[in-house]
Structure 1
Amino acid sequence: MVTPLLTDLYQFSMAYAYWKAGKHLDRAVFDLYFRKSPFAGEFTVFGGLEECIRFIANFKFKEEEINFLRAALPTCEDGFFEYLSSIDCSDVEVYAIPEGSAVFPKVPLMIIEGPVAVVQLLETPFLSLVNYASLVTTNAARHRLVAGKPKNLLEFGLRRAQVGLTLFRFASFDSLSLTWTYEHMSIRGQMEESVHQDILIWEDLMQRDDKYSYSILEHVNQLEVIPKAVQCLSKQTFIIISNNLTFLPGQQCCSRKGLDEIIDKALSSSDGLNKCEDFVSLVQNWLVKIQNLWLVIYVQVFKICPYILLFRMLVHCVVPLARQIKVMRSGVPNFCAVALALNDMGYKAVGIRLDSGDLAYLSIETRKFFCAIEKEFGVVGFGKTNITASNDLNEETIDALNKQGHEVDSFGIGTYLVTCYAQAALGCVFKLVEINKQPRIKLSEDVTKVSIPCKKRCYRLYGKEGYPLVDIMTGQDEPSPKVGERILCRHPFIESKRAHVVPQHVEELLKCYWPGHSFEKDIDPNLYPLVNAEAVQREELPSLNENRSRCMRQLERMRPDHLRKLNPTPYKVRSITVKLDVTYLIPLHLNLTMHTRSARLLIR
């Protein structure tokens, strides 16, 4: 749980200054937004909202935290610490774009309104929670786009993630087929690590209770269960990611030993009606058939031990198998031998992982091998066995594989996804835009850093083809754009950039996720004449699956040229209405600019 101490000393210094000046209760509005889309792209996927709402819902300084602050800020008066111990976020309002939405620069992701000292203390935690989350969701979306919709994407990066389990919630927004989250509980005992780094995908959940989906977390030594409510696994699929696992309770590791070291060789069929007393011999018989048929002479018998042991350990959830030094002459034949033996017992193998070598070539050869097995032995569907590829995959390598041609069904993406290797940070900012109903602006010689003043409402306008045309910001008291009604959209700083738009669909972007006291009281019609009580009803936080669906729907509605990897067409953003420009932006900009120039002349 994030605590109020996850912040900078600067924020407490600002809060103390407000308190000391008697301005800590002034009503302030801040915008949280970013200035440029990451990864040289033209879109971002918003993440981190739920964590922000959970944070403010539990925002309260504990006694030990106040004592720590007293020691860290010895020059502050005791009254300030008494004030800190009394505050919470009950008087804060948070408006945000729904999590998982496609978003664009300058348009507020979140609008936070409340007592200025309290909201100031939210700046660093909110930026911390939103920056990384949005960067990962965007990175995952880009990998999904380059891989293609039919492919499965597996998240493989927990052991290299900087933010631990939080990562996987955001990775799953973009249809990563396998991910894990913090809502899990452990079952079954410990496993030891030994020989091969393998993956096997097996299907045996047809007859199981569909209440749970299963996965093994590759960074820990426990088998874990993930409730269906947060699952991101394909239905009826069990995926085991193992790091050299060959352990079976009551047995020694047999990484370099013979098959005779396996003590319990019996295996019951999937329906429980039959039992094979020597499953190892069944596997060996299939291996001999494969060797005789294709003259595979390199197969090492001891390499098959981990496969058999893992199956025996997880007999009701099915088995893992996979990569070895000689993939086509040992790894794939061993997999097929165990898979065919399991098929005799009523189990169905669904996949294998390739983790090294020429992935395009190996996937094609593996597919040929599977198809030959199906044709020769009449095992229906074996030729379509899932092939997963991993080994430091990123956008570029997946794109290269697509151009070369391959037979990979699933991609395991780790380091480049979770570390956002191509870009270290999103660069969100948190800017004051209004205080006590008076607009405020930040000026800069760099026009991209100039903020848009006043509390705003944001809309996305769609054209007749269903694609979004532009995101536009209006003043809080302006009427919303109407379908079929011509509206002038203009760039806030470049006069020549303007366009008339006739929207065929209008979507209001910001919704209230934390209404504060406004949820319990009537809205003042004099302050917000166009806002009624229903407008501030609290939006429920969506589930992970709902976020995921929203993300995919929004990306599908974007024009393809906005999403392409190389030189995407810029999306029209930073558009404002004429009233917002004339009423707030121009007067503030001119007034402050003139004061700044006068001050410079006086200094000279």
Structure 2
Amino acid sequence: MFLKRSVQPLLTDFYQFTMAYGYWKSGRQGERAVFELCFRKNPLGGEFTIFAGLQDCLSFLSEFQLSREDVQFLRSVLPPATEEGFFNYLLSISTREVAVRAVPEGSIVFPQVALLEVEGPLAIVQILETPLLTLVNYASLVATNAARFRIAAGPDRRLLELGLRRAQGPDGGISASRYSYIGGFDGTSNVLAGKLYGIPLFGSVAHSYITSFTSMSEVKVQGLGSACGSTPALDFASLCRDWLSRVCEVLEVPKRQVNLSELAAFASFASSSPRNFAAVVDTYNVTRSGVPNFCAVALALQQLGYRALGLRLDSGDLLQQSLVVRRMLQACADRFGVPWLSEMQIIVTNSISEKDLMDLQQQPNAVDSVGVGTHLVTCPVQPSLGCVYKMSRDAPSMTEIRSYAQDSLSKLPAQHKCLVEPVPYQVAISMELHRLLSELAQERAPVPEESHCAE
């Protein structure tokens, strides 16, 4: 299922309509024309791009129609001398005669090679130029950026898109979630993206939740039964306090330094969602409060047959802290005989860059999830524009597009995917095309002026 794009027919440049009027005035509006969409340079300093946005283009084209209100606005902004017949023409145009040829969405593409070809009446395809560029350029940029993050993170580390709060408006947010998933991210915090596209959702306790508690007396859900239901409910708050004393002893952390309001927040959340307990541990102090409190609640859940999901770091030196946290988890796992605790998911968030991810690659056991690969092998060939898309064509699922993108990326040789100084991908052209380009160049070459030198 794809989101019905709120792209209006007037989302184009003003000069597209002034040019359309010029075509209409000269009687050329119905001439067949072909527009090709390509780009000059790969983004982000790389040597590949993931093509995205095709389904948005098809959705836009299938619904394209200028309303009377749209035409009335154009009448108010175009020159007063514009003939009335042109406005009647605008009311009549549609995309019934427009054909679209494109490479499959998710393809690896390169500069100067057509990604999308739109054929139809000259004036109509002229008006369509800007919105189609808008729908493809942003989508391809986000998908390519996500693919670079996936390369930097490696194939196994989980990548989570958490950017809705900082997105360029609601549409930018939903687009970023969707195209990050196509580019290689594993999940999102965006609930609407989960509903519309089936993208796996992720979330953990936020700092605001932690700071909303002041004491253990606020943990209202006191009784928590075991996972199998074979034992009566226990006083979970007391259980967490008991475990905190034991954890502080193992980690050599004075209990007086531990923030008990943070323990209350963890215990409250865990008692309400015992199968989905994940918490941010840097609200007060990571090693002196956050991790001891997290371990205490995780061990209390373990006693009842539940398993915590993980902890999150959101500030400071994330790599260095993650190594320290891993050692603390290992110490508790060894002391209390809970092996899975040492393998607990450590999630890092907050302004993660490609360099940060490459640094994390050097420490494979430090971080499991992040919220935000010389031998020449046979090169992949960019798909041709042979596939003609109809506006009513059933759209592939988000999972299918993502799989195609990841498969395409896996076939691209490693030297072209390097995040630093990648090797340019050499795009070859056929001999027939080479001859045509040479002939056109010769035809357009300036004619040398006749010599007037004196003998």
Distance 2:104 2:241 in 1: 55
> Alpha-carbon deviation of 1:274?
3.7
Q: Which residue of 1 aligns with 2:407?
A: 553
Call closer, same or farther: CA 1:318–1:292 in 2, change over 3 Å: closer
Q: Which residue of 2 aligns with 1:391?
A: 350
Q: Which residue of 2 aligns with 1:65?
A: 70
The answer to whether the Cα contact below 8 Å between 1:46 and 1:134 also exists between their aligned partners in 2 is yes
Aligned to 1:364, the other structure's residue is in SS state: helix
Q: Which residue of 1 aligns with 2:446?
A: 594
> Alpha-carbon deviation of 1:76?
1.9
Larger helix fraction of residues: 2
- Residues 37-67 of structure 1 show CA distances to partners (whole Å, capped at 9, x for unaligned) of 1122110011111111110011011222122
- Residue of 89, 93, 109 corresponding to 1:87: 93
Q: Which residue of 1 aligns with 2:158?
A: 152
Q: Which residue of 1 aligns with 2:82?
A: 76
Q: Which residue of 2 aligns with 1:172?
A: 181
Q: Which residue of 2 aligns with 1:240?
A: 204
Q: Which residue of 2 aligns with 1:326?
A: 285
Letter in 2 for 1:268: G
> Alpha-carbon deviation of 1:295?
2.2
- Residue of 554, 565, 579 corresponding to 2:419: 565
Q: Which residue of 1 aligns with 2:452?
A: none
- Aligned ranges for residues 2-401 of structure 1 at < 5 Å? 2-73=7-78, 74-162=80-168, 163-179=172-188, 183=192, 226-227=194-195, 230-232=198-200, 239-240=203-204, 242-245=206-209, 254-255=212-213, 257-297=214-254, 298-314=257-273, 317-318=276-277, 320-401=279-360
Distance 2:221 2:48 in 1: 56
Distance 2:330 2:278 in 1: 21
Distance 1:278 1:102 in 2: 56
- Greater than 6 Å deviation, 4+ residue runs: none
Aligned to 2:208, the other structure's residue is in SS state: strand
Letter in 2 for 1:29: V
- Residues 439-467 of structure 1 show CA distances to partners (whole Å, capped at 9, x for unaligned) of xxxxxxxxxxxxxxxxxxxxxxxx99543
Larger strand fraction of residues: 1
The answer to whether the Cα contact below 8 Å between 1:154 and 1:411 also exists between their aligned partners in 2 is yes
Aligned to 2:45, the other structure's residue is in SS state: coil
Call closer, same or farther: CA 1:115–1:285 in 2, change over 3 Å: same
Distance 1:547 1:180 in 2: 20
Q: Which residue of 2 aligns with 1:203?
A: none
Aligned to 1:387, the other structure's residue is in SS state: strand
Letter in 1 for 2:27: G
> Alpha-carbon deviation of 1:180?
5.4
Q: Which residue of 1 aligns with 2:387?
A: 511
Identical residues among aligned pairs (%): 40
Aligned to 1:579, the other structure's residue is in SS state: helix
Letter in 1 for 2:220: I
> Alpha-carbon deviation of 1:513?
1.6
Call closer, same or farther: CA 1:77–1:552 in 2, change over 3 Å: same
The answer to whether the Cα contact below 8 Å between 2:377 and 2:413 also exists between their aligned partners in 1 is no
RMSD: 2.5
Structure 1 residues without counterparts, runs of 5 or longer? 185-225, 247-252, 414-462, 472-506, 516-537, 599-604
Letter in 1 for 2:355: E
Letter in 2 for 1:232: P
